[in-house]
Structure 1
Amino acid sequence: MHSYSQKVLQLTDNPNPVDIHVGGRLRLRRTLLGKTQTDLGNAVGLTFQQIQKYERGANRIGAGRLYDFSQLLDVPVSFFYDDMPGDMKEKQPDSVGTLFDQEQLASRESLKLIRAYYNIGDAKIRSGLYELARSLSVNSNPES
């Protein structure tokens, strides 16, 4: 039988899936805005290494710090939890890649496309572009 402290140690050995997801969303928003880890760290009084740990899910982001990030990155706190699979709390992922494809989201092409999309001032045009892209992706990949 394991002692309480051994169980706590086992639980803290691996990053929590929610922490990984929240960190990934932090990284996504930071990169979409063209900010570096150093930029974000300086804005909240942390090193870029600490930002790296947050983004990997190695360190949990406290509520106050998450609020600070939401203000700096101009998103609601809920943004960091958006698109989180419902069963995430029950399953431990093998890697960050099982949550969503980080490499695809962070590719230069994806970032350019997303930045260009958000630079379109007219919401109707953005919506039309989104519908066009969605239609094209469904037609090219019927399993979507």
Structure 2
Amino acid sequence: MTHHVDEHVGKRIRHRRWLVGMTQQQLAEAVGIKFQQIQKYETGANRVSASRLWDIAGALDCPVSFFFDGADTPTTEVDDMFAEKEAMELVRTYYAIPENQRRKLFDLARVLSDVA
């Protein structure tokens, strides 16, 4: 049986990996393991050791604390939404747009959501 913190850390690894546009294979190569191990970490099936989490944080260019953010709060609908590949892709694509255009797109989305 998996521990909820292991599942949370795994979700945060997947979340960060998607935000930076890295595949499981690329992350695995960066930390010197097989991609299947990354899969097990991301599902919470295997616990991530402290040293491995340190390596993963380095490869994903974030502090180790990132993986524990929100671990003490219940999962929300927003968390579940970001488990979807399409949602993460949309967020990553959104932030790739130049800021002035991103603001216009955001305003358009807000108008469209008010009409619906």
Q: Which category describes the TM-score, using the shorter chain as reference length?
A: 0.7 to 0.9
Asked if the contact 1:28/1:106 (under 8 Å) is kept, the reply is no
User: Aligned-residue CA RMSD in angstroms?
Assistant: 3.3
Deviations 1:119-140 (A, max 9, x none): 3565x997x68x969x78xx79
Task: Tell me if 1:84 matches 2:75.
Answer: no
Hey, what does 1:112 align to over in structure 2? 89
**Quick one: higher RCO (CA 8 Å, sep 6+), 1 or 2?**
2
Residues 27-74 of structure 1, C-alpha deviation per residue, up to 9 Å, x if partnerless?
111122221111111111111111111111111111111111111111
Give the 5 Å matches for 1:65-84: 65-84=52-71
Higher helix share: 2
Of 30, 34, 50, which aligns to 1:43? 30
> Where do 5+ consecutive residues of structure 1 fail to align?
1-13, 89-96
Residue in structure 1 matching 2:80, options 73, 97, 101: 101
Task: Identify unmatched segments of 5+ residues in structure 2.
Answer: none
Instruction: Give the aligned residue type for 2:93.
Output: A
Q: Whose Rg is larger?
A: 1
**Aligned pairs, how many?**
115
State the AA in 2 paired with 1:49.
Q
2: CA distance between counterparts of 1:111 and 1:81?
19
Distance 1:74 1:33 in 2: 9
